Amino acid sequence: MSKTIDLSGKRALVTGGASGIGETTAKLLVELGARVVIADINAGALAGAANRIQAEGVTAGDVVSAADVERMVADTVGVLGGIDLVFNSAGVGDDLVPVHEQEPERWQRVVDVNLKGTYLVCREAGKHMVAQKSGAIVNVSSIVGLGAFPGRSAYGVAKAGVVHLTSTLACEWGHLGIRVNAIAPAYTRTPLVQDLLDRKIFDPGLIERRTPLARLAQSTEMASAVAFLLSDWASYVTGVTLPVDGGWNAYGAAGDVMKVRHG
Ligand SMILES: NC(=O)c1ccc[n+]([C@@H]2O[C@H](COP(=O)([O-])OP(=O)(O)OC[C@H]3O[C@@H](n4cnc5c(N)ncnc54)[C@H](O)[C@@H]3O)[C@@H](O)[C@H]2O)c1
């Protein structure tokens, strides 16, 4: 085994690669030796991101569209000659309203981007991995997929679905040498979350008090977990959803107990 995580020559597709956790992870994969294509619905942001992270190619499209996903995977194979690794980071947040006030169409779109999009990319890239009998995929769930958050039914259902999709694919493809895992991030300082913090939709102090490590995450801390799961260092790890959450899921006490802990 290599002394460090080594992705030399691995051909990787990163969805949602034009921003946040996707961009930061794509950058780390390049630094670890991988050849990377980034995909995103935000076509205008792709070129700049590719330039910043030294990606070999870009492909624009909507992960909810089977035709777009087919083309994005084909573009990736066209640029790189194949596909060994996938990081499915494309995702959107939801409206923070209770179920009885939410528009069904909006609910469906949030579920579709986060769950159907992940399914379609796994399915299309998986065809290549099944044919070559190797590959590794990391999907993105969330702490919201592991425990219920009021006002986040669409996002929570989708991210819980990602947990199950991940374990199902691991069981379907394990005998073919293909590993499928997920990360479940807690609040991570990406442009998306920073905007919510700036607009005071989240209270960072409350999040810090609820988190045993007492701070929000940096996207580099998601990227390193993803790189591990995509690498041979995780060669016997499949079907898991790894919380990368500063201890969020480990913590079970009521808010008042946190106040005692913090004096
Ligand atoms: N930031 C957090 O605190 C946090 C916590 C838990 C999970 N997550 C998940 O991590 C992933 C990345 O989030 P982020 O914070 O980096 O957000 P971000 O908004 O910075 O990046 C998401 C990227 O996905 C792209 N995207 C959105 N819809 C798409 C679609 N239909 N097709 C293709 N691309 C699409 C966006 O254009 C954007 O570039 C998401 O799946 C998100 O749900 C984030």
Q: How confident is the model at residue 231 (pLDDT cuts 50, 70, 90)?
A: very high
Q: Residue with structure tokens 């499928």?
A: 180
Mean pLDDT of 81-103: 95
Over the stretch 143-178, which tens digit does the pLDDT of each residue have?
A: 999 999 999 999 999 999 999 999 999 999 999 999
Q: Rounded CA gap, 93 and 151, in Å? A: 11
Domain range annotation of the chain:
11-188+219-250
Q: Rounded CA gap, 58 and 262, in Å? A: 46
Mean pLDDT of 180-205: 91
For the cut 80, the answer to whether the pLDDT of residue 259 exceeds it is no
* Residue nearest (by alpha carbon) to ligand 1 atom 19: 192
* Residue nearest (by alpha carbon) to ligand 1 atom 23: 16
For the cut 80, the answer to whether the pLDDT of residue 24 exceeds it is yes
Residue 216, ligand 1, Cβ within 6 A: no
Residues taking part in catalysis:
155
Helix or strand run (H / E) with residue 199: none
For the cut 60, the answer to whether the pLDDT of residue 263 exceeds it is no
Q: Rounded CA gap, 211 and 151, in Å? A: 20
Mean pLDDT of 172-186: 98
Averaged pLDDT of the chain: 95
Cβ neighbours of 164 (radius 10 Å):
14
**C-alpha 21 – ligand 1 centre gap (Å):** 7
Residue 211, ligand 1, Cβ within 6 A: no
How much is the pLDDT for 260? Answer: 59
For residues 91 and 140, the answer to whether their CB atoms sit within 8 Å is yes
- Looking from the CA of residue 144, the nearest atom of ligand 1 is 6
Q: Rounded CA gap, 85 and 13, in Å? A: 6
For residues 60 and 50, the answer to whether their CB atoms sit within 8 Å is no
Q: Which CATH superfamily is domain 11-188+219-250 in?
A: NAD(P)-binding Rossmann-like Domain (3.40.50.720)
How much is the pLDDT for 217? Answer: 98
For residues 260 and 59, the answer to whether their CB atoms sit within 8 Å is no
**C-alpha 13 – ligand 1 centre gap (Å):** 15
The model's pTM: 0.97
* 75, 138, 189, 192: residue to mutate for ligand 1 pocket, most atoms within 8 A of CB: 192
**C-alpha 24 – ligand 1 centre gap (Å):** 12
For the four alpha carbons of 93, 98, 101 and 102, in that order, the dihedral sign comes to: positive
**C-alpha 113 – ligand 1 centre gap (Å):** 9
For residues 1 and 233, the answer to whether their CB atoms sit within 8 Å is yes
Mean pLDDT of 199-215: 91
Q: Residue with structure tokens 């998601």?
A: 222
Secondary structure (3-state) at 183: strand
For the cut 60, the answer to whether the pLDDT of residue 262 exceeds it is no
Over the stretch 34-83, which tens digit does the pLDDT of each residue have?
A: 999 999 999 999 999 999 999 999 999 999 999 999 999 999 999 999 99
Q: Residue with structure tokens 């076509």?
A: 43
User: Between these two residues, 216 and 202, which has the higher pLDDT value?
Assistant: 216
Task: Dump the DSSP string for 212-223.
Answer: TT-SPBPHHHHH
How much is the pLDDT for 72? Answer: 98
With 0-12 CB in 10 A as exposed, 13-18 as middle and 19+ as buried, what is 94? buried
How much is the pLDDT for 221? Answer: 98
Secondary structure (3-state) at 229: helix
Residue 241, ligand 1, Cβ within 6 A: no
* 37, 92, 207, 215: residue to mutate for ligand 1 pocket, most atoms within 8 A of CB: 92
For the cut 60, the answer to whether the pLDDT of residue 14 exceeds it is yes
With 0-12 CB in 10 A as exposed, 13-18 as middle and 19+ as buried, what is 250? exposed
Q: Rounded CA gap, 67 and 157, in Å? A: 24
